[in-house]
């Protein structure tokens, strides 16, 4: 099952799963989107892999580590989370509302687009 967590809930979700490792936020947006807005790692690790590159770069991901997928509004990240779950990843979340919600809920310095 893919947990749906808001940006505000992300830290608590990571704490809840800390026995499985340090939280990784997997940002699956495209490079042009990353230039517009990004998150600063605070209490988590950050890895950026565009959605369509995830299958070729899965070796960079630990299937037992807590991973929260992030995109613009939450659609692509949900697809990536499902893709990973089908391949044996056990601790997954989707950041509901994506970076847009991150900006409005958590860090207003993150530009909205």
Q: Where are the alpha helices (DSSP H) in the chain?
A: 10-16, 31-36, 75-86, 98-101
69 has catalytic annotation: no
In whole angstroms, give the CA distance from residue 65 to residue 90: 8
Beta strands 67-70 and 45-48 are unpaired
Query: Among residues 24, 28, 71, 99, which one is catalytic?
Result: 71
Q: Tell me which residue of 57, 65, 60 sits closest to 88, measured CA to CA.
A: 65
Catalytic residues: 71
């Amino acid at each position: 099952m893919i947990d749906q967590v808001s940006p505000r809930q992300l830290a608590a979700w990571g704490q809840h799963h800390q026995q499985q490792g340090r939280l990784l936020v997997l940002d699956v947006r495209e490079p042009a989107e990353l230039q517009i807005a990004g998150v600063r790692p605070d209490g988590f690790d950050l890895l950026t892999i565009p959605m369509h590159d995830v299958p070729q770069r899965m070796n960079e991901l630990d299937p037992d580590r807590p991973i929260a997928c992030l995109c613009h509004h939450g659609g692509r990240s949900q697809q990536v989370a499902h893709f990973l779950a089908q391949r044996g990843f056990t601790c997954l979340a989707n950041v509901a509302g994506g970076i847009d919600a991150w900006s409005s809920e958590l860090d207003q310095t993150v530009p909205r687009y």
